[in-house]
């Protein structure tokens, strides 16, 4: 397993991954790369990513 | 036990119980005996709770005998995917991580089923944490497909699908974050509804990905499915995603037929975006023809590519699931099965901006689908692209995660109902998916009921399970 991958896992706090786990991590990351390549990046700036936050409590 | 009792539908059983022609105790005893006899072969249950079930059945029988019938679920056996809490029982999520974790209170759906008089038979197998499976490296074996135990039974609500097909119970709950109700429904030849996002409370159910998680009914027939949704649907102020929308009478459209309805056909999902198995495509084409022949106005519609929904959904799912599992993955990675660990690790490398862009993209996809649905009552498309693959075929199992058209409706939150649509030459179930407007479950039941009655597919049961 290459050191670069191990370093990446370590940087993410995943320092208990075994060699087998690291191979899985690599496959998982590669699979996610495929999805990320389809992700549009030019979304209009005014379009908020989500509208789920609401302040709690009674109006004065 | 007669096969008739094993495959008795919820609606039929309810009428027999109401009129005191069937004793809940007798019914539950017979089903428990069937589970004891066959489940070693299918592994639908993680935990069977016979004493609890018989106590509840006796109580139901006494109440009904005294004239206090609560409704169609009174005295009705059911089972729960083991990520749903039942007070006093372990919720394991089929994982070593949570083995022995006893729930302190009922999930809201459990409360509702219990209040309706349901009789819990036990907790069901799932893919680990509703994400990775089938797995042979967990404390419990994976569920197997009653149509052919060498073939995949779908997941993640695998025990729910397998148990229904095996005639172990007439109703179960599953959960669906990227297709986990509809996949086992397709593989096991049963009926599975992923309701609209927010229709059913998720409080007390182990989360996978908060903004994509749904709970829904799994049954053998459409009518039974509507009856179970009626019990569990409704607003829960304790679930931030719960919708405060009125719950209609899901049985009201029964027998209305389909003439005059407008149904979009999302054919590109299973012909060009992904090439569906020829027998599956043929089954879908036949279903569209049948509906058109019955007076439905059908027309092809075009949505964004299936791969766009898949990418958007998988990024959101991976990010949200990693937020749930990060600590365990750091501290106890060895306690996960290989399939769940690999899928969950996918979220580790995502950046916050990736997740947020995916959420923005989701809104665009939702709006494009809403436009395409504007003049329609519903749409029809594939659920799975193939009949169930062999359970030892790793390549085909991996393909199962993308050769499907379920994720689009986790992304949009629309309801998706999967029903049987025939059988392959090898005797494995084929399926179709009906998709509705948000909170349009009743229209889906109306169409599905017509199709079910016209074809009779739900009357077939797996061979080799009669006694």
CA B152 from chain centre, in angstroms, equals 15
- Mean pLDDT calculated for residue range B295-323: 98
The model's confidence at residue A1, banded by pLDDT at 50, 70 and 90, is: low
Residue pair B28/B54 in contact by the 8 Å Cβ criterion? yes
Read off φ and ψ for residue B193, nearest 5 degrees: -110, 120
- Mean pLDDT calculated for residue range A26-43: 94
Residue pair B83/B129 in contact by the 8 Å Cβ criterion? yes
The model's confidence at residue A57, banded by pLDDT at 50, 70 and 90, is: low
**B54: Cβ contacts below 8 Å, ≥ 6 apart:** B25, B28, B29, B32
Residue pair B144/B162 in contact by the 8 Å Cβ criterion? yes
Looking at residue B107, what is its pLDDT?
Answer: 98
The model's confidence at residue B1, banded by pLDDT at 50, 70 and 90, is: very low
**B275: Cβ contacts below 8 Å, ≥ 6 apart:** B385
Across chain B, mean pLDDT equals 97
Provide, as residue numbers in chain B, all residues whose Cβ is less than 8 Å from the Cβ of A1: none
User: Above 90 in pLDDT, residue A5?
Assistant: no
Rounded to two decimals, the ipTM of the complex is 0.92
Cβ of residue A42 closer than 8 Å to a chain B Cβ: no
Q: Would the CB atoms of A12 and B341 count as touching at under 8 Å?
A: no
CA distance B382 to B198: 24
Looking at residue B450, what is its pLDDT?
Answer: 98
- Interface test with chain A among B345, B358, B399, by most A beta carbons within 10 Å: B345
User: Above 60 in pLDDT, residue B403?
Assistant: yes
User: Above 70 in pLDDT, residue B3?
Assistant: no
Q: Would the CB atoms of A24 and B341 count as touching at under 8 Å?
A: yes
Please indicate whether residue B40 or residue B2 has the higher confidence score (pLDDT).
B40
Q: Which two tokens stand for residue B365?
A: 């996809």
Closest residue, chain A, to B331 (C-alpha): A16
User: Above 80 in pLDDT, residue A52?
Assistant: no
Looking at residue A56, what is its pLDDT?
Answer: 66
In chain A, count H helices and then E strands: 2, 0
Looking at residue A33, what is its pLDDT?
Answer: 96
CA distance B202 to B193: 15
Q: Would the CB atoms of B311 and A38 count as touching at under 8 Å?
A: yes
In chain B, count H helices and then E strands: 16, 11
What is the 3-state composition of chain A as percent helix, strand, coil, each rounded to the nearest 5?
Answer: 50, 0, 50
- Mean pLDDT calculated for residue range B44-73: 98
B222-232 and B10-18 helices, crossing angle to 10°: 70
Looking at residue A2, what is its pLDDT?
Answer: 73
The string over B286-317, giving b where at least 16 C-beta atoms fall within 10 Å of a residue's C-beta and e elsewhere, is ebbebbeeeebebeebebbbbebbbbbbbbbb
Closest residue, chain B, to A23 (C-alpha): B342
User: Above 60 in pLDDT, residue B174?
Assistant: yes
**Nearest Cα residue to B414 out of B365, B361, B354:** B365
Looking at residue A60, what is its pLDDT?
Answer: 56
Domains, in order of start, for chain B: 3-459 (3.90.1300.10)
Looking at residue A43, what is its pLDDT?
Answer: 83
- Mean pLDDT calculated for residue range B344-348: 97
Q: Which residues of B sit within 8 Å Cβ distance of A?
A: 240, 307-308, 310-312, 314-315, 318, 326, 329-334, 338, 341-343, 345-350, 354, 356-361, 363-364
Looking at residue B294, what is its pLDDT?
Answer: 98
Residue pair B53/B25 in contact by the 8 Å Cβ criterion? no
B346 closest CB neighbour out of A14, A21, A32:
A32
**Nearest Cα residue to B21 out of B78, B65, B70, B77:** B65
- Mean pLDDT calculated for residue range B354-380: 96
**B101: Cβ contacts below 8 Å, ≥ 6 apart:** B90, B91, B92
Provide, as residue numbers in chain A, all residues whose Cβ is less than 8 Å from the Cβ of B336: none
CA B441 from chain centre, in angstroms, equals 14
Cβ of residue A12 closer than 8 Å to a chain B Cβ: yes
Provide, as residue numbers in chain A, all residues whose Cβ is less than 8 Å from the Cβ of B197: none
- Interface test with chain A among B360, B363, B408, by most A beta carbons within 10 Å: B360
Domain spans in chain A, listed from the N-terminal domain onward = 3-38
What is the three-class DSSP state of B208? coil
**A40: Cβ contacts below 8 Å, ≥ 6 apart:** B357, B361, B364
- Mean pLDDT calculated for residue range B233-239: 97
B180 carries an active-site annotation: yes
Strands B262-265 and B378-381, bridge-based pairing:
parallel
Cis peptide before B110 (omega within 30 of 0): no
User: Above 90 in pLDDT, residue B2?
Assistant: no
């Amino acid at each position: 397993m290459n050191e670069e991958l191990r370093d990446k896992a370590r940087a993410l706090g995943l320092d208990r991954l075994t060699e087998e786990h690291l191979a899985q991590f690599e496959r998982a990351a590669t699979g996610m790369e495929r999805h990320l390549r389809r992700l549009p990046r030019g979304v209009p700036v005014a379009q908020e990513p989500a509208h789920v936050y609401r302040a709690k409590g009674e109006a004065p | 036990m007669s096969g008739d009792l094993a495959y008795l539908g919820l609606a039929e059983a309810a009428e027999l119980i109401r009129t005191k022609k069937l004793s809940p105790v007798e019914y539950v005893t017979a089903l428990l005996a069937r589970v004891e006899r066959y489940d070693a072969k299918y592994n639908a249950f993680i935990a069977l709770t016979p004493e609890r079930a018989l106590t509840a059945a006796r109580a139901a029988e006494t109440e009904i005998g005294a004239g206090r019938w609560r409704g169609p679920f009174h005295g009705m056996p059911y089972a729960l995917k083991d990520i749903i809490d039942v007070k006093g029982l372990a919720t394991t999520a089929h994982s070593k991580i949570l083995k022995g974790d006893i729930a302190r209170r009922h999930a809201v759906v459990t409360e509702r089923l219990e209040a309706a008089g349901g009789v819990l038979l036990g907790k069901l197998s799932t893919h680990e944490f509703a994400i990775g499976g089938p797995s042979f490296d967990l404390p419990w074996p994976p569920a197997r497909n009653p149509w052919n135990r060498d073939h995949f039974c779908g997941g993640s609500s695998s025990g729910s699908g397998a148990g229904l097909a095996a005639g172990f119970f007439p109703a179960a709950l599953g959960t669906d974050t990227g297709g986990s109700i509809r996949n086992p429904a397709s593989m096991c030849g049963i009926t599975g509804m992923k309701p609209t996002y927010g229709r059913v409370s998720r409080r007390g159910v182990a989360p996978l990905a908060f903004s994509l998680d749904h709970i829904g009914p799994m049954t053998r027939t459409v009518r039974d499915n509507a009856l179970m949704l009626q019990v569990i649907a409704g607003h829960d102020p304790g679930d931030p995603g719960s919708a405060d929308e009125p719950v209609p009478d899901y049985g009201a459209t029964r027998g209305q037929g389909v003439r005059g309805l407008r149904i979009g056909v999302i054919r590109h999902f299973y012909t060009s975006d992904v090439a569906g198995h020829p027998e599956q495509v043929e089954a879908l084409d036949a279903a569209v023809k049948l509906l058109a022949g019955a007076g439905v106005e059908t027309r092809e519609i075009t949505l964004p590519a299936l791969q766009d929904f898949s990418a958007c959904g998988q990024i959101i799912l991976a990010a949200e699931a990693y937020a749930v599992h990060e600590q365990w993955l750091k501290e106890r990675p060895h306690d996960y099965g290989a399939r769940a660990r690999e899928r969950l690790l996918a979220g580790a490398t995502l950046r916050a901006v990736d997740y947020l862009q995916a959420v923005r993209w989701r809104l665009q996809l939702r709006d494009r689908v809403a436009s395409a649905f504007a003049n329609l009552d519903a749409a029809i498309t594939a659920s799975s692209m193939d009949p169930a693959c062999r359970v030892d075929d790793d390549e085909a199992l991996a393909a199962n995660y993308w050769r499907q058209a379920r994720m689009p409706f986790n992304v949009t939150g629309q309801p998706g109902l999967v029903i049987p649509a025939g059988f392959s030459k090898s005797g494995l179930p084929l399926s179709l998916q009906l998709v509705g407007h948000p909170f349009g479950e009743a229209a889906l039941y109306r169409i599905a009921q017509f199709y079910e009655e016209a074809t009779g597919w739900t009357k077939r049961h797996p061979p080799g399970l009669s006694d």
